[in-house]
């Protein structure tokens, strides 16, 4: 038996999952959970593969002041509960830059190269790397594998990824990368079983969560994505604005007097659904509200998704179907309906009864819909575990 631990670290939480790998290259989920509220009110939660709770405990803030400390707590919990330490650890790393096109085993030199990419993802990369650095120091011989959100998007045609900027800036790495690649890679593989026609065809995958983007999937490959240089571009998100006239940033600096740190905080934390509604960045709260501001935020969100679906279709020369995934995509029928309503030009028609479902794989297209409409749950942790297991065995 091989035990694979998957860590997905953010600024204030670390999601984790443990898998058991066997001789037939299959992986079995053992448990998963998260340690949230890092640095404020740490809370460890975990459940087994059947969904039965294993732990729900508030921790002392002194014991979990940062992400590196959280990794120690998670590792100790896994080792104690499973009776053995993991044989390898797989990590979600948001940015792989132009060089990292596939998962890679991490050593000190690789970690330094990944840290150098932090300016390209300042609110993600440092936190992704913190548990890696902690483990390297404490257990230098434990295999660790970095799996990149950007890797799935390598291979785009140049016109998809280049901004109209001087070549010197492009050479410095200012270009479109695309993110959520681990989710898209999982969905692309899943479609071969649940909807092979979509796997072979021209499909837009809508990863809609607090962070949101679209991927143009053609023949199982990413050919375009709405996210670009950073995780700010593209769709309206929970607290991020999506596409924005660069002149707005100049206005904030020149007329409003905001410095770079203040602008960064505004764009990452106070815009999107939260900024539009003045209420919340949580789609569940907006759908439950009858306020005009909440309805406006939902309308802007749905309009931008529909608009970008059309852009992705243009990149593929047509559209055969749409797959909704991630938190909003999987669990918010109202948001799905608002989006599909705006896609009449593609002949999209929703089956209201089917769309009311919120769990599992769903076919939500009406019989007269000219394009397929599906809901397929994503599993980034499993994708990371598969990459880690494969690299470990090789």
Give the separation between CA 20 and CA 58, rounded to whole angstroms: 27
Give the separation between CA 151 and CA 128, rounded to whole angstroms: 16
Q: Which residues of 114-132 are buried (b: 16+ CB within 10 A; e: fewer)?
A: beebbebbebbbebbbbbb
The DSSP string of 196-208 is HHHHHSEEEEEEE
Specify which residues 214 forms β-bridges with.
206
- The tokens describing 16, both together, are 């984790």
Three-state SS letters, 47-64 = EECCCCEEEEEECCCCCC
Q: Tell me the longest C-alpha to C-alpha distance in the chain.
A: 63
> Among residues 217, 223, 184, which one has the least CA distance to residue 200?
217
Q: Which of 149, 224, 320, 351 is catalytic?
A: 149
- The tokens describing 344, both together, are 């009449």
Annotated active-site residue 290? The verdict is: no
How far the first Cα of the chain sits from its last, in Å, is: 16
Active-site annotation, residues: 149
């Amino acid at each position: 038996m091989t035990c694979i631990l998957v860590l997905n670290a953010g600024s204030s939480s670390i999601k984790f999952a443990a898998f058991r790998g066997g001789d037939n290259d299959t992986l079995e989920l053992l448990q998963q959970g998260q340690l949230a509220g890092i640095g404020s009110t740490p809370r460890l939660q975990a459940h087994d593969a059947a969904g039965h709770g294993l732990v729900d405990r508030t921790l002392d803030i002194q014991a979990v002041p940062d992400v590196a400390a959280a990794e120690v707590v998670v590792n100790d919990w896994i080792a104690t509960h499973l009776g053995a330490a993991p044989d390898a650890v797989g990590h979600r790393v948001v940015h792989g830059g132009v060089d990292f096109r596939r998962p890679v085993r991490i050593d000190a030199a690789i970690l330094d190269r990944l840290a150098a990419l932090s300016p390209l993802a300042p609110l993600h990369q440092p936190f992704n790397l913190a548990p890696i650095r902690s483990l390297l120091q404490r257990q230098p011989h434990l295999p660790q594998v970095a799996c990149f959100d950007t890797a799935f998007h390598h291979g785009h045609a140049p016109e998809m990824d280049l901004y109209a900027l001087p070549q010197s800036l492009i050479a410095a790495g200012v270009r479109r990368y695309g993110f959520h690649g681990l989710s898209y890679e999982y969905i692309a593989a899943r479609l071969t079983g649940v909807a092979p026609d979509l796997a072979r065809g021209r499909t837009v995958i809508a990863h809609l969560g607090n962070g949101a983007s679209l991927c143009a999937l053609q023949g199982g490959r990413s050919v375009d994505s709405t996210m670009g240089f950073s995780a700010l571009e593209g769709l309206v998100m929970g607290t991020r604005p999506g596409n924005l006239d660069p002149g707005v940033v100049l206005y904030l600096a020149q007329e409003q007097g905001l410095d770079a740190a203040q602008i960064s905080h505004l764009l990452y934390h106070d815009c999107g659904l939260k900024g539009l509604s003045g209420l919340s960045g949580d789609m569940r709260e907006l759908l439950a509200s009858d306020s005009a501001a909440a309805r406006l935020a939902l309308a802007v969100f749905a309009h931008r998704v529909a608009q970008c679906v059309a852009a992705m279709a243009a990149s593929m020369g047509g559209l055969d179907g749409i797959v909704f995934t991630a938190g909003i995509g999987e669990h918010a029928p109202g948001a799905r309906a608002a989006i599909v309503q705006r896609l009449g030009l593609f002949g999209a028609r929703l089956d209201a009864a089917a769309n009311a479902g919120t769990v599992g794989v769903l076919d939500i297209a009406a019989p007269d819909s000219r394009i397929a409409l599906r809901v397929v749950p994503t599993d980034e942790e499993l994708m990371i575990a598969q990459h880690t297991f494969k690299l470990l065995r090789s």
